[in-house]
Amino acid sequence: MTTPWSKTQKGEAHTLRKYTDGDFKWNQWTQQIFNEDTSHKCPTYVNRTPPCQGSCPSGEDIRGWLLIARGIEKPPGDMTWQEYAFRRSTDANPFPSQMGRVCPAPCEAGCNRNEVDDFVGINAVEQYIGDTATENGFTFDSPPLKSDKRVAIIGGGPAGLAAAYQLRRKGYASTIFDDHDALGGMMRFGIPGYRTPREQLDAEINRILDMGDINVQLGVRVGEQISIEQLESDYDAVLWALGCQSGRALPVEGGDAPNCVSGVKFLEAFNTGKLHVASDKVVCVGGGDTSIDVVSVARRLGKINKLNARERPELVVHGYVAHDSAMAASRSGADVTLTSLLPRTAMTAAEHEVHDALTEGVTILNGVVPVRVVTDESGRATGIVLADCTVDKDGRPEIIEGTERELEADLIVSAIGQGGNLAGLEALDNGRGLIDSDALYQVKDRPGHFVAGDIIRPHLLTTAIGQASVAANTIDLYLQDKPVNKRPKVDVHHFNLLQKLEESNLAPAKNITEQSWGTDQSEGAVHNYEDRSSHEIAAADELFLGHWKEEERYKRDERVPKAEQVLGHFEERIVRLTEEQVVAEANRCMSCGMCFECDNCVIYCPQDAIFRVKKDKSTTGRYVDTDYNKCIGCHVCADVCPSGYIDMGMGH
């Protein structure tokens, strides 16, 4: 039996066959195609959500801006494709430069192209879109305010800024309160600048603020200077986007030693310019992205052989002192180790980040668990006792007896989780240092209060941004005293054919009065298009994968220093693709669930029933049409559609 295309193993050539031997529908298939002239099923053009988009927590229209980059979806007027792609991308997420650099890209893991060769480099294209927007000075529109109602946003990180952006687009003013001296949250204080260059971050934040009617109050801690009651009195709605700035201490004996610090605070001390050297022997307990940032920073900072006790790094992390930048001149390499409960293949950190850390000289110990911290007579940690372990199905480690050993350390960093700081806001605390939310991001039992981001549950930047978008929509309905409806099953930013037709001056005519059983000749309807994107995702087995040949992904170069080069290396790691490379990479997209104008259906239709729409009537989503007087329902068009855009579902 021949292997069907949908089951072909990666690396094997895909065939143009869609069925295995012995799989057929009609005994006299050829005769029925060429002799029949009627059928009860004809092509329907069905828009579904691609899996990249369905996997994106902020719900970006990824397929849309890839189609724009490859020149299939045309911009209106004289707008460049770069600006059009930027506007499509930022419908969902106003931080394309940041996401293109640091998002772990669940979209790429979900990409159907993985069934052919390798995923589409979505992050690489998004970085190009974001950086080009900054270089060309692209701005956001500032619609007029539709109400005098104002929203208080507590927290100026990715969730708070994204909420302010989405609310401003809907016509609402807001005030952002943040207890730092700058906006950005974890993008600024949790991620090193060589991963998120500050000029790009500042540009994307300022683009939001330049929309106007977004007030910012820095250095203000709500719960201390301002009470919940005061917010309720001064504002019509409150969004809690506090983030999680408190790291968890090691839950072992000695884990409270003064030189045991949290990964969150370690990175904040570095990112605010206070920490300039680390220690001789640094051990970080973790396995996630934060721990990778900690050890990479520690390798870059290095050590000073004779460091004054009053300038120890833990004192900087705890906020008691700050290092003089001149100290950097006398530092040398540090011995840095990362420990993880999980084997390397199961670590939650991005695989390429783990690889980079190893290249930079970090030692990674997998499958080990801290048992206790060894301290001296003063109470400072001098080492950490580790043991080999297995992890049960619930994620709990089980120590393997007889494997304990001590690892020397003079700075131990805990990167095993984060929590919120709700001091003064205890009324919102769910008992775990977080705030409970319903599915629409309303705070339970507190009308007018909403929540988004890590303070619900620590997760990805893109998750916080997606929650903020939904919360902004909920706030909009609340402020208009409208019912808050259930969100769609596939809750993302969808392609809208009617909006595209209007943009192209091809909208269906209004006030059509003729009576007809069919709409295929009517100017008042889109007659054979069905939008299922809000409840269906285009799966790989709905595509004709045999259409696609293997093409190597265009990978970005990275400036990853080797162990002997890492000290003081703070250059940006990722090198942006060129425009030509971006377009070529976008062309690898299979446009799952949407026509990308390949012409297969037109070429292979044995009855010439499918035809291209005239150029002056054509736009994305309306490239082909069907003459139902010729269609015999043979379903060849559906079989050869690479993107799964055609269903045999229309009655005839």
> Is the confidence at residue 144, as pLDDT, over 70?
yes
Q: Is 261 helix (H, G, I), strand (E, B) or coil?
A: strand
* Percent of the residues in the chain that have a pLDDT greater than 90, as a whole number: 80
Look at residue 491 in the predicted model and tell me its pLDDT. 92
Tell me the CA end-to-end span of the chain in Å, nearest whole number.
36
pLDDT digits (tens, 9 = 90+) for 599-643: 999 999 999 999 999 998 899 999 999 988 888 888 899 999 999
Sort 75 into a burial class: Cβ within 10 Å, 0-12 / 13-18 / 19+: middle
Look at residue 198 in the predicted model and tell me its pLDDT. 96
Look at residue 456 in the predicted model and tell me its pLDDT. 96
Please give the average per-residue pLDDT across 336-365, as a whole number.
94
Tokens of 473: 């929509």
Q: Of 541, 476, 451, 536, which is closest to residue 240 (Cα–Cα)?
A: 451
What is the rounded distance in angstroms from the CA atom of residue 278 to the CA atom of residue 379? 19
* DSSP-assigned states of every residue in 110-130: H-GGGGTSS---HHHHHHHHH
Long-range contacts of 77-85 (CB under 8 A, 24+ apart): 80/136, 82/129, 82/132, 82/133, 82/136, 83/133, 83/136, 83/138, 85/129
**2 falls in which pLDDT band (50, 70, 90)?**
very low
Question: Which of 131-145, 427-441, 501-515, 556-570 is least confident?
Answer: 501-515
- Out of 3.40.50.720, 3.40.50.970, 1.10.3720.10, 3.50.50.60, which CATH number does the structure's domain 150-245+420-479 have? 3.50.50.60
**305 falls in which pLDDT band (50, 70, 90)?**
confident
Q: Of 416, 442, 466, 446, which is closest to residue 244 (Cα–Cα)?
A: 416
Please give the average per-residue pLDDT across 30-36, as a whole number.
48
Amino acid, single-letter form, for residue 168: R
What is the rounded distance in angstroms from the CA atom of residue 609 to the CA atom of residue 632? 8
Look at residue 24 in the predicted model and tell me its pLDDT. 53
pLDDT digits (tens, 9 = 90+) for 75-115: 998 999 999 999 999 999 999 999 999 999 999 999 999 99
- Do the two domains 150-245+420-479 and 248-415 of this chain adopt the same fold? yes
**284 falls in which pLDDT band (50, 70, 90)?**
very high
Look at residue 37 in the predicted model and tell me its pLDDT. 47
Q: Of 577, 505, 581, 588, which is closest to residue 547 (Cα–Cα)?
A: 588
Please give the average per-residue pLDDT across 426-443, as a whole number.
94
**18 falls in which pLDDT band (50, 70, 90)?**
low
**507 falls in which pLDDT band (50, 70, 90)?**
confident
Q: Is 618 helix (H, G, I), strand (E, B) or coil?
A: coil
Q: Per-domain residue ranges for the chain?
A: 5-135+496-650, 150-245+420-479, 248-415
> Is the confidence at residue 357, as pLDDT, over 60?
yes
> Is the confidence at residue 526, as pLDDT, over 80?
no
Sort 213 into a burial class: Cβ within 10 Å, 0-12 / 13-18 / 19+: middle
> Is the confidence at residue 154, as pLDDT, over 60?
yes
Average pLDDT, the chain: 91
Look at residue 16 in the predicted model and tell me its pLDDT. 56
Look at residue 327 in the predicted model and tell me its pLDDT. 87
**27 falls in which pLDDT band (50, 70, 90)?**
low
Measured in whole angstroms, the distance separating CA 422 from the mean position of its chain's CA atoms is 27
Tokens of 390: 């297995």
Amino acid, single-letter form, for residue 205: I
> Is the confidence at residue 467, as pLDDT, over 90?
yes
What is the rounded distance in angstroms from the CA atom of residue 326 to the CA atom of residue 320? 19
Q: What architecture does CATH give domain 248-415?
A: 3-Layer(bba) Sandwich (3.50)
Tokens of 183: 């906006």
More confident residue, 434 or 513: 434
What is the rounded distance in angstroms from the CA atom of residue 178 to the CA atom of residue 65? 33
**649 falls in which pLDDT band (50, 70, 90)?**
confident
More confident residue, 25 or 350: 350
What SS3 string covers 427-455? HHCCCCCCCCECCCCEECCCCCEEECCCC
Look at residue 511 in the predicted model and tell me its pLDDT. 59
> Is the confidence at residue 161, as pLDDT, over 80?
yes
Q: Is 524 helix (H, G, I), strand (E, B) or coil?
A: coil
More confident residue, 124 or 27: 124
